[in-house]
Structure 1
Amino acid sequence: MQLYGALVLFMTLSTACALRCYTCTATDPKSCTDTKSCPVIFNRCFSLRIDGYDLVTKGCQTSIACIGAIACCEGNLCNRAVPAGSSAILLLVSSAIIALVLSG
């Protein structure tokens, strides 16, 4: 039962925290390592490649502005340059724990 309580607390705290996005303007998307907590009005992370100047810019955005060349995504640090396998593994493990707790 303590595991269930800790899991509920963890999920509540992670939901209450602000969205975090990578933020930068750079020529190499892999060099974008700075992160920031987005203000409450922003609910998406974005990436935008500026053709002709070989630049990419990343940051926080609202879902309404996610049109055209602006690539938006939902979730903390989802606008990274290289997909991280560890986040997918963490999601699978946490889902399995929730399923075990709820079934038992």
Structure 2
Amino acid sequence: MCYGWSFLYSSTAYGLKCYNCVTRYPSSCTTSVTCPPELDQCSSLTASGVTTKSCMVSNLCVSPVTCCKEDYCNGAITTGPSVLLLLLSSAIITFFV
């Protein structure tokens, strides 16, 4: 029980960590920031081919903005059907070989 409390305390004390950038190439977004306490979400928005990632206050997290609450959670690039097909075919090959 003590360990859980210390984790919650340290997360709050040091702040959420998010990727922070404005770019046309989301995979190049490697700059990170520690959010101030009032900005409790990581956000990501893509509009007109430009992706913006930053810290955000939760009440501003409405579509088309996507938000999340874990460190660096706004850094993932969404996978398309081709990646899922590749993983499925690899699993089938592994199973039958």
TM-score of the pair, normalised by structure 1: 0.64
For the Cα contact (< 8 Å) 2:18–2:74, is it kept in 1?
A: yes
Aligned residue runs from structure 1 range 6-85, under 5 A: 7=3, 11=7, 12-51=9-48, 54-82=49-77
1:29-68 C-alpha deviation (Å, 9 max, x unpaired)? 11000000111110000000012xx110000001100012
5+ unaligned residues in a row in structure 2: which ranges?
Answer: 79-97
For the Cα contact (< 8 Å) 1:72–1:79, is it kept in 2?
A: yes
- Structure 1 stretches of 4+ with a deviation exceeding 6 A read none
Structure 2 residue matching 1:30: 3-state secondary structure: helix
Distance 1:10 1:67 in 2: 31
Distance 1:14 1:63 in 2: 17
Deviation at 1:81, TM superposition (A): 2.8
RMSD: 2.1
TM-score of the pair, normalised by structure 2: 0.68
* Cα distance change, pair 62–9 in 1 and its aligned pair in 2 (3 A): closer
- Which has the greater radius of gyration? 2
Count residues with an aligned counterpart.
77
User: What fraction of aligned residue pairs are identical, expressed as a percent?
Assistant: 34
